[in-house]
Amino acid sequence: MYDYLIVGAGLFGSVFAYEANKRGKKVLVIDKRNHIGGNIYTKQVEGINVHEYGAHIFHTSDKEIWDYIQQFAMFNRYTNSPIARYKDEVYNMPFNMNTFNKMWGVITPQEAKDKINQQIKEAGIIKPRNLEEQAISMVGKDIYEKLIKGYTAKQWGKPCTELPTFIIKRLPVRLTYDNNYFNDLYQGIPIGGYTQIIEKMLENIDVKLNCDFFNHKKEMEKIANKIIFTGMIDQYYNYQYGTLEYRSLRFETEVLNMVNYQGNAVVNYNEYEIPFTRIIEHKHFEYGNQAKTVITREYPRKWEKGDEPYYPINDDINNNLYKKYKALANKEKKVIFGGRLGMYQYLDMHNVIKEALLCVKREFNG
C-alpha cells in the first residue's frame, strides 16, 4: 500500500514524488513510456545529450525556482537565440533590430518603428479578426509574410486566417540589438542533460515503467491512498464530455558524420512548403565539440487518440470543455490533476515546478 501513486514520471510528477518522499511518504511512480523524464528526457548519442522530445531551455525570473532546480544539476550559461530561415535568407529571432536591419536595411530603432508603422497603416486593419490581421497590425506585412505566415500555419495545421488572434499577441518585438529570446533573469541547460535531474528526484522511490495506468486502472486505484494524475484529464474521465484537442509532433533524428551542421542549436524553417518547423542540432546546447553531430527535424501534426499530445489548443471551445472536466476534478477526494495535460495548459518547465510545489504546499501544509 502506498501513500501516493503518481501517474507520469515527468517534471510535475517527479517534483511531487521527491517532496512527498522527503516527508516520509511511501510513493510509487508509474509511466507508460520506457523511460523517466517525460518530455524533458535526454539521452546520450555519440557523447551528445539529445533532447528526445524537442528543445528544452530552462528559463525563469523566479529565484526560488532557479535555486530549487540547481539542487539537481549544474546549469551552463546557454542563451536561447534561434534563427529563422526563409528561402535563402537568415533572420535573427525574436524580432529585434538585427531582424529589421536584415529585412529593410534600417539601423536605428526609430527607422524600424517608422517602417513597421508605415506597413501597419497601409494594411488599414482597424480590428483584427484573425491571426493574420493581428500579426500584420503588430509587425507589418513583410515580417508576417516571411517569418510568421508559413511557420504558424505548419505549427497549428490551419492557415493564419483561420487561427485566433490570441496565439500571436505575446509575440516578442524588440527595438534593441538583442537576440536573447527570453527576458528572464536566469537561463541555461543542465550540463549532462535533463534526465539526471529526474533520476535524482526519484532516487529511493519505487518506479514502474512500461506501465499504462488505464490498462490496470481498477488495481491502480486500490494501491494508494491518493493519486497524482499528470495524464490527459479528459482520458481519465473516459472522454465523457468529449475530447480535448491537442497538437502533436513527429521527430526525425539522425547522426551526421560532421562536426557542425547548422551553427546554431535551433533553426526555424519558415516556408510553408518545407514540412518541418525547425531543425535542432543538440550539441550546441552544451557547446559540444564531438566529432559527429545529431540533428532532429520537428514535424507538427494533427493529434488523434493514441498519439502523444504536446500542445493543448486553448481556444474558447476547448477551454469551455476543460472547465467541465475541471468541475469533476474539483469534487475528487482522492485524485489530484497536475502538469500540462492534467491542467490542460501550456506550461514552461519553471511553471511546472511552481505548480508542483504549490500542489505539495496544499497537500502537506493545508
Tell me: the pLDDT tens digits for 150-194? Answer: 999 999 999 999 998 888 877 788 999 999 999 999 999 999 999
> Distance (Å, rounded) from C-alpha 342 to C-alpha 325?
10
Alpha-carbon distances of 264 from 29, 170, 296, 344, rounded to whole Å: 36, 24, 13, 32
Q: What average pLDDT score do residues 205-228 get? A: 96
Q: Which residues pair with 2 in a beta bridge?
A: 224
User: Which residue, 18, 17, 54, 59, is CA-closest to 39?
Assistant: 54
**Residue 56 reports pLDDT greater than 70:** yes
Task: Give pLDDT, residue 366.
Answer: 64
Alpha-carbon distances of 68 from 19, 166, 238, rounded to whole Å: 12, 32, 36
Task: Give pLDDT, residue 339.
Answer: 97
Q: What average pLDDT score do residues 294-316 get? A: 94
Q: Which distant-in-sequence residues (6+ apart) come within 8 Å of 247 by Cβ?
A: 155, 156, 157, 300, 301, 302, 303, 309, 310, 311, 313
Task: Give pLDDT, residue 92.
Answer: 97
Q: What is the pLDDT of residues 81-123, one digit of tens each?
A: 999 999 999 999 999 999 999 999 999 999 999 999 999 999 9
Chain-wide mean pLDDT for the chain?
96
The model's confidence at residue 149, banded by pLDDT at 50, 70 and 90, is very high
The model's confidence at residue 59, banded by pLDDT at 50, 70 and 90, is very high
**Residue 285 reports pLDDT greater than 80:** yes
Enumerate the active-site residues: 170, 174, 247, 278, 298, 346, 348
Of the chain, the percentage scoring pLDDT greater than 70 comes to 100
Pick 167 or 342 by higher pLDDT.
342
Of the chain, the percentage scoring pLDDT greater than 90 comes to 94
SS3 253: strand
**pTM of this prediction?**
0.94
Task: Give pLDDT, residue 361.
Answer: 97
> Distance (Å, rounded) from C-alpha 149 to C-alpha 315?
19
**Residue 344 reports pLDDT greater than 80:** yes
**Residue 278 reports pLDDT greater than 80:** yes
Q: What average pLDDT score do residues 115-143 get? A: 94
Task: Give pLDDT, residue 172.
Answer: 80
